[in-house]
């Protein structure tokens, strides 16, 4: 009986010590490889702009998301996504749809702006999860120099997580 109590007591103590601890809220970031360089932006900002169907302006009849952040080297990373639905849903958003863009302003070789939109480069964003106001997505792209001074650059292994603020 004594051995049973000792074994039970050890098991309870061991299980209590294995409790998962919360490390706080998940990190918010943009991360990707640009050619062979890793680019990381902590705490990006995401603004959700709902569609406005109450006016006569057809340019704001879609829901938009603008996500931007600065890397540690000062590069400005910006995504703009559009959907005709009232809210974004998990799925694929491509630069073949007008308004879906990615840009990176590099400052390591002067100011070079790399873009992907419906005319230059290619962009595929896969929204993986939308929970409350948090969006998570993976992406890849081919970015072209806005002024065509440098060759196209590959973006791969991209991922972002951000908290969306809704524009009122």
Each residue of 5-54: pLDDT tens digit? 565 665 555 556 555 566 677 899 999 999 989 999 999 999 999 887 78
Per-chain mean pLDDT for the chain: 87
Asked if 160 and 26 touch (Cβ cutoff 8 Å), the reply is: no
Q: What are the pLDDT digits (tens) for 44-56?
A: 999 999 887 787 7
Six-digit token pair at 108? Answer: 């390591």
Query: How far, CA to CA in Å, does 7 sit from each of 2, 4, 17, 59?
Result: 9, 5, 15, 70
Listed in sequence order, the residues at least 6 apart from 136 whose beta carbon sits closer than 8 Å to its beta carbon are 127, 128, 129, 130, 159, 160, 161
d(CA 15, CA 38): 40
Q: Give the pLDDT of residue 165.
A: 94
Q: Percent of the chain having pLDDT more than 70? A: 85
Q: Above 90 in pLDDT, residue 58? A: no
pTM above 0.85, yes or no: no
Q: What is the pLDDT confidence band of residue 168, given thresholds at 50, 70 and 90? A: confident
Average pLDDT (103-132) is 91
Evaluate if residue 129 carries a pLDDT over 90.
yes
């Amino acid at each position: 009986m004594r051995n049973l109590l000792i074994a039970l007591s050890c098991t309870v103590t061991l299980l209590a010590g294995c409790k998962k601890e919360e490390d706080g809220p998940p990190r918010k970031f943009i991360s990707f490889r640009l050619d062979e360089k890793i680019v990381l932006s902590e705490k990006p900002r995401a603004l959700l702009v709902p569609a406005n169907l109450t006016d006569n302006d057809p340019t704001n009849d879609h829901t938009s998301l603008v996500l931007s952040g600065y890397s540690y080297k000062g590069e400005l990373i910006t995504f703009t996504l559009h959907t005709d639905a009232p809210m974004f849903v998990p799925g694929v958003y491509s630069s073949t749809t007008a308004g879906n863009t990615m840009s990176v302003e590099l400052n390591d070789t002067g100011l070079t702006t790399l873009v992907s939109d419906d005319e230059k480069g290619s962009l595929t964003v896969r929204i993986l999860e939308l929970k409350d106001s948090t969006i998570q997505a993976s992406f890849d792209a081919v970015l072209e120099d806005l002024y065509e001074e440098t060759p196209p650059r590959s973006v791969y292994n991209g991922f972002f997580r951000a908290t969306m603020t809704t524009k009122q």
